[in-house]
Amino acid sequence: MKRLMPPRTLFITLTLLCLLAIWLSLALGPVSLPLLDTLRAGLRLMGAPIAADGLEQAELILGQIRLPRTLLGLGVGAVLALSGVAMQGLFRNPLADPGLVGVASGAALGAAVAIVGGSWMGGIAEWFAPYLLSACAFVGGLGVTALVYKLGRRDGQTHVATMLLAGIALTALAGSAVGLFTYLADDATLRTLTFWNLGSLNGASYQRLWPLLLVVLAVALWLPRRAQALNALLLGESEARHLGVEVESLKRELVFCTALGVGAAVAAAGLIGFIGLVVPHLVRLLAGPDHRVLLPASLLAGGALLLFADLVARLALAPAELPIGIVTAFIGAPFFLFLLIRGR
């Protein structure tokens, strides 16, 4: 067996990688800013007393466009990766993905309702209209996941296998409902729906950022506390129970964290696939299955990977932009394959 990377090395590497990603995400973009201007504008944004002469442009691009975008990317990547760990731990299967409990398909259904049906629901308050899509996606994701969880409960116990099947069934059901909305959509809404399904960090703003960052913080603080319990769960449910883990409440927390995290990520940036499946897997290949390492490492790796993907998304076709969902799969999948082949 291949030797694993010691946790210390892994954390240092990932932290450096994350910092590099943040730096590149702030420094690079279609507008080429001189490095010095970026630095000075950055310092000014942090409150350093530097003269503003000639920095307006740099400050605007950095403060209003790149910084919210970078924070959004970090948050979305981190929470998707953490949810991936939670789901793979819950199903005790490295192929599990946050989509399994229906949160992604539920969010897609919510988005379809908002995009296509938005014009039919009259009387939406003006201040709420811009947030309708995010709110519907969030509620849809949470709603379908709650239903999946409910269907998996029997005699006060959560049957993971039943939940899995219920998730598959409800995903199919939500998929067909999305299909129906697609059919009813006109050209304009169809395009919006298609692009939403590919995800994007484009147009990030602080107002939309805070709810997501709060959720990310909550999930990132909560899940690592359950790392030991997740480790015990790896041995099997009854074994974990004998080790003193309250398995039922653990399952509930895992499902809830995933629904909340993925729901918020999807509401903020649309559907971004691949991160939740591959990042935990990747970290496990490097550092083994211990959740005390896996959880924080996935958080860092998820954020960094999404930022790198976003760099490609915004630079590859500049001044136009690629949907990020295309990029995450396009660079992530071959890399993943490479690791798999090398690890054999």
Partner 1 sequence: MMRRPAALLTLCASLVFVTQALAADLPQRWVSAGGALSEWISLLGGAQRLVGVDTTSQHPETLKDLPSIGYQRQLSAEGILSLRPDLLVGTEEMGPPPVLAQVRGAGVRVELFSSTAQLAAVDDNLKHLGALLGREQKAAALAADYRQQLEALQAKLKQAQTTQKAPGVLLLVGHGGAKPMIAGKGTAGDWVLQQAGARNLADNQGYKNFSAEALAALDPDVLVVSDRSLDGEQALQALLKENPALAASRAVKDQRLVRLDPTLLVGGLGPRLPAALHELARAFYPDAQATLAP
The residues that touch partner 1, with contacts defined as CB under 8 A, are: 29-32, 57, 60-61, 64-66, 130, 185-188, 191-192, 195, 200, 202-205, 208, 314, 317-321, 323
For the CB of residue 56, give the shortest distance to partner 1 in the complex, in Å.
9
DSSP classification of residue 157: E
Residue type, 71: L
User: Is the CB of 57 or the CB of 157 nearer to partner 1?
Assistant: 57
User: Is the CB of 134 or the CB of 171 nearer to partner 1?
Assistant: 134
For the CB of residue 79, give the shortest distance to partner 1 in the complex, in Å.
20
Token digits for 16? 């450096």
User: Is the CB of 96 or the CB of 313 nearer to partner 1?
Assistant: 313
CA distance 2 to 21: 28
User: Is the CB of 64 or the CB of 93 nearer to partner 1?
Assistant: 64
User: Is the CB of 105 or the CB of 200 nearer to partner 1?
Assistant: 200
Whether 158 and 252 have beta carbons less than 8 Å apart is answered as yes
User: Is the CB of 72 or the CB of 144 nearer to partner 1?
Assistant: 72
CA distance 177 to 28: 40
Phi and psi (nearest 5°) for 236? 130, 155
For the CB of residue 93, give the shortest distance to partner 1 in the complex, in Å.
36
For the CB of residue 113, give the shortest distance to partner 1 in the complex, in Å.
18
For the CB of residue 77, give the shortest distance to partner 1 in the complex, in Å.
19
User: Is the CB of 175 or the CB of 203 nearer to partner 1?
Assistant: 203
User: Is the CB of 155 or the CB of 186 nearer to partner 1?
Assistant: 186
For the CB of residue 200, give the shortest distance to partner 1 in the complex, in Å.
7
Q: Give the CB-side neighbour count of residue 213, counting CA atoms within 13 A.
A: 14
CA distance 19 to 8: 16
Q: Which of 52, 323, 302, 74 is nearest to 209 (CA)?
A: 74
CA distance 226 to 118: 40
CA distance 107 to 124: 20
Whether 75 and 265 have beta carbons less than 8 Å apart is answered as yes
For the CB of residue 334, give the shortest distance to partner 1 in the complex, in Å.
25
For the CB of residue 203, give the shortest distance to partner 1 in the complex, in Å.
3
Alpha helices in 153-236 (DSSP H): 160-184, 187-196, 206-225, 227-234
DSSP classification of residue 46: T
Q: Which of 116, 245, 232, 105 is nearest to 175 (CA)?
A: 105
CA distance 323 to 67: 19
